[in-house]
Copies of this chain bind each other. A is one copy, B any other.
Amino acid sequence: MPESRAEKGMATLRRLFGSSVGGTPLPPAFAQMTVEHLFGEVWQRPGLALEERSLVTCAVLVALGREAEQKIHFRGARNLGISREKLDELLLHIAHYAGWPVAVSALRVLDEVWRTMDGEAK
Complex contacts, A103 vs chain B, CB 8 Å: 30
When all copies of this chain in the complex are counted, the total is: 6
A25 CA to B104 CA in the complex, in Å?
A: 9
Residue from the list B30, B34, B52, B99 in contact with A97, Cβ < 8 A: B99
Contact B56 A59 (CB under 8 A): yes
* A interface bracket (residues with beta carbon within 8 Å of B): 35 or more
Contact A68 B33 (CB under 8 A): no
Residue from the list B64, B68, B88 in contact with A64, Cβ < 8 A: B64
Can you list 20 A-B contacts with CB-CB less than 8 angstroms, sorted by A residue number? A24-B104, A26-B107, A27-B92, A29-B45, A29-B88, A30-B95, A30-B103, A33-B92, A34-B100, A37-B37, A38-B100, A43-B93, A45-B89, A56-B56, A63-B64, A64-B98, A65-B65, A66-B99, A69-B105, A97-B101
